[in-house]
Amino acid sequence: MGNRRIEISSGQIEEQLDICAQIRAMAGEKRLAMVDTYGCQQNEADSEQLRGYLFAMGYGQTSDENQADIVVINTCAVREHAEMRVLGNIGALTHTKKENPDQIIVVCGCMAAEKNIVEKIKKSYGIVDLMFAPSELWRFPELLKTVIEGKRRVFELGGDATVAEGIPHLRTDGVKAWLSVMNGCNNFCTYCIVPYTRFRERSRRPESIIAEARELVSQGYREITLLGQNVNSYGNDLDCGVSFAQLIRDIDAIDGDFVIRFMTSHPKDATEELFAAMRDCKKCEKHLHLPLQSGSDRILKAMNRRYDSAKYLGLVDKLREYIPDVVLTTDIIVGFPGETDEDFEDTMRVVERVRYDAMFTFIYSKRAGTPAAAMDDPFTREEKQLHFDRLIEVQNAISEEKHGAYIGKTERVLIDGRDREKGVLTGRTIGGRLVRVPADDSLIGHFAGVEITDCNTWALRGKLV
Ligand code: 5AD
Ligand code: SF4
């Protein structure tokens, strides 16, 4: 399931846009849509397409579910905790639907590709009208029309690895844009649900990506983040001779003042060709998010990660030869089935050796249908929590030290928004570190020189120079 690459034709997307126009004509008065997004940046990017379609259907946007005529919940399946939150929030919509029985409730995203969740929703969440997997997003208008006209529930699990061009996007940020370059995953890490929800890897054609990047730059976007579950394997499935490194070079060559970011990279596809492109391209961020997951060779094998700690450390050394002050961040899973104290100590050793700038840490979450779900998992949640707390404590100290080294330096920062603190703006360095800086709103969307004066574990603080 999910193996077949299917390119959706421009004619098919035109048909969907025609359906949007029909829905727009059918509804007499002004209606509002709420799109609620969970999970990763890929989901954020998908929500921009959902909003693009909704806009074409004549819906305005709201963030209040009581006002919404349609609520779209774009879900994440990567950990159980997120799923429970989503189910709780869907349940809470019972009240809004009682007030407004015509309200349409849509559940999409990765949970909508999980059979057990779809069954649960069918049976116990009668308020949900439409559910479709990520691969079916391109035909959201058609599915919604069936619900509206037929007054019946629609469930679409999908089955093909679709690639679609031409779905409208509704981007609202103005400074930062997501640009999805590929979708899906071929790696089958044993803990991960993504290959089952997003199907096999498929890359968009480079011409389409470069045209979209050009358009974003001409619209004034200052930061373009290239997205893929496995972004650096971009192009492996196409016979077009454009690797991810080449794609970075091609986007870097577009005229304009902007920064290129990308995520997430798998160590197995992190090549010297990529490191060289990162070094050579002025607009490319000097940052690599390189998930380690574990520092234990035994656990890495059980995770099917296709590298061991020596190979990973070799990559880090090589990258630092190319870009000595590169910012490195990572993901680590604590408490994978059977992870012992010794395995955890191996992870700690790698963490202390690499000295990441920042880390995202997760306690292993069992995902039905993945190989790891069937593995013996003898350790308790409390035992795992002790490891988790220790890892965070050590990493926080490292992050703070690394941030401390910025003090006194002047960084080029893209100012991208307002901080919660009044009169303070937020921005990112070329390495992607968060910077807070007291400044006037007019600087949003501009690059500024910022002298770093202070820091904590999560962010830098500075003043304009
Ligand atoms: N349990 C815990 N963490 C997970 N991740 C992916 N699947 C699981 C799981 N089953 C983490 C990985 C990945 C990040 C996006 O989420 O660290 O890199
Ligand atoms: Fe969550 Fe992964 Fe799906 Fe993103 S791709 S929404 S992280 S399960």
Q: Quick one: pLDDT at residue 2?
A: 80
List pLDDT tens digits, range 131-152.
999 999 999 999 999 999 988 9
CA 401 to chain centre: 28
Q: Is the CB of 45 under 6 A from ligand 2?
A: no
Q: Check: pTM over 0.75? Answer yes or no.
A: yes
Q: Quick one: pLDDT at residue 300?
A: 98
Are 33 and 12 within 8 A, CB to CB? no
Q: Is the CB of 35 under 6 A from ligand 2?
A: no
Q: Please compute the mean of the pLDDT values over residues 22-37 and round it to a whole number.
A: 88
Distance (angstroms) between ligand 1 centre and the Cα of 235 equals: 24
Q: Is the CB of 135 under 6 A from ligand 2?
A: no
Which of 46, 110, 370 to mutate for ligand 2's pocket (most ligand atoms within 8 Å of CB)? 110
Q: Quick one: pLDDT at residue 29?
A: 62
Q: Quick one: pLDDT at residue 164?
A: 96
Rounded distance, CA 323 to CA 270, Å? 14
Q: Residue type at 149?
A: E
- Pocket, ligand 1, Cβ cutoff 6 A: 78-79, 191-192, 291, 293, 331, 333, 362, 364-365, 367
Rounded distance, CA 108 to CA 121, Å? 12
CATH tag, 410-464 = 2.40.50.140
List pLDDT tens digits, range 64-84.
999 999 999 999 999 999 999
Q: Is the CB of 291 under 6 A from ligand 2?
A: no
List pLDDT tens digits, range 212-238.
999 999 999 999 999 999 999 999 999
Are 434 and 420 within 8 A, CB to CB? no
> What mean pLDDT, rounded, does the chain reach?
96
List pLDDT tens digits, range 99-131.
999 999 999 999 999 999 999 999 999 999 999
Q: How confident is the model at residue 275 (pLDDT cuts 50, 70, 90)?
A: very high
- Return the SS3 of 306: coil
Where do the domains of the chain lie? 5-163, 169-404, 410-464
Q: Is residue 27 pLDDT above 80, yes or no?
A: no
Q: Residues, the chain, total?
A: 465
Q: Is the CB of 189 under 6 A from ligand 2?
A: no
Q: Please compute the mean of the pLDDT values over residues 369-373 and round it to a whole number.
A: 97
Question: What CATH homologous superfamily does 169-404 map to?
Answer: tm_1862 like domain (3.80.30.20)
CATH tag, 5-163 = 3.40.50.12160
State the closest ligand 2 atom to the C-alpha of 193, by its place in the atom list counted from 1.
Answer: 8
Phi, psi of 137 (to 5 degrees): -55, -35
Please name which of 324, 290, 320, 286 lies closest in space to residue 429, comparing C-alpha atoms: 286
CA distances for 349 relative to 220, 320, 321, 359, angstroms: 44, 19, 21, 15
